[in-house]
């Protein structure tokens, strides 16, 4: 049976059905100012502020992680996304987990744990675009945009909505990032051997 799940701005089917976003991530030195702007914007809604722990596993292709989050059921995320510092397509599947600890143990038997990313995420929504304000341990502050492609929002509309919100928030955006938090954490001096 297919069950529709709604996780405060994250809507998906609990099956391994491929979904797509158009994504980009920026480092920002103006997180507080950006959050204040978003809170006071009539076009944007605030969804949640949660702690998240993402456990990444080594897999031959793409990326695989388990997300453990405040007040939400843990879930397994598999995704494929190019590492480029511009808007890019991310193909992904999400599967809800009844027993995260058991799944972690089973995955550890087959795959090495690459890293665990700890962050506080504040989620805002603009039309179909998720706006993540992320405070990431060791790495700093980031804003990430995910424009969801769906039956009700085709790729052209998703790109247009993303362009609109990025233009609106441009004064608060810093340097675009080519990689994800896993890449940044693995490159961080504190995670290098011998440090």
The stretches of 18-95 forming alpha helices (DSSP H) are 31-39
Sort strands 129-136 and 140-149 into parallel, antiparallel or unpaired: antiparallel
Residue 69 CB contacts under 8 Å (≥ 6 apart), including other chains:
50, 51, 52, 53
Instruction: Check whether 194 has a pLDDT greater than 90.
Output: no
Mean pLDDT across the chain, nearest whole number?
Answer: 90
User: Mean per-residue pLDDT for 90-115?
Assistant: 93
In the chain, the largest separation of any two C-alpha atoms, in whole Å, equals 51
CA distances for 88 relative to 25, 42, 146, angstroms: 10, 28, 10
Q: How far is CA 101 from the centre of its chain?
A: 21
User: Mean per-residue pLDDT for 27-41?
Assistant: 97
Would you say how long the chain is, in residues?
195
The answer, as to whether pTM is greater than 0.85, is: yes
Question: What structural domains and CATH numbers belong to the chain?
Answer: 17-191 (2.40.320.10)
Chain segment 5-28, per-residue pLDDT in tens:
333 333 333 456 789 999 999 999
Instruction: Check whether 73 has a pLDDT greater than 80.
Output: yes
The per-residue pLDDT for 2 is 27
Chain segment 122-165, per-residue pLDDT in tens:
999 999 999 999 999 999 999 999 999 999 999 999 999 999 99
């Amino acid at each position: 049976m297919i069950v529709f799940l709604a996780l405060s701005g994250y809507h998906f089917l609990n099956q391994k059905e491929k979904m797509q976003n158009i994504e980009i991530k920026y480092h920002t030195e103006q997180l507080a100012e950006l959050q204040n702007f978003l809170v006071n914007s009539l076009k944007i809604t605030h969804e949640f502020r949660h702690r998240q722990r993402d456990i990444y596993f080594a897999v031959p292709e793409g990326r695989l992680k388990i997300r453990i989050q405040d007040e939400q059921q843990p879930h397994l995320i598999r995704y494929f996304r190019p590492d480029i510092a511009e808007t890019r397509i991310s193909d992904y599947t999400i599967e809800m987990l009844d027993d995260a600890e058991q799944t972690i143990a089973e995955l550890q038997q087959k795959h090495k744990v690459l890293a665990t990313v700890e962050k506080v995420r504040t989620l805002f929504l603009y039309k179909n675009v998720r706006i993540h304000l992320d405070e990431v341990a060791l790495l700093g502050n980031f804003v990430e945009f995910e424009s969801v492609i769906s039956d009700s929002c085709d790729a052209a509309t998703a790109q247009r909505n993303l362009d609109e919100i990025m233009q609106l928030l441009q004064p608060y955006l810093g340097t675009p990032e080519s990689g994800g938090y896993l890449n940044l954490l693995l490159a961080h001096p504190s995670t290098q051997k011998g440090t």
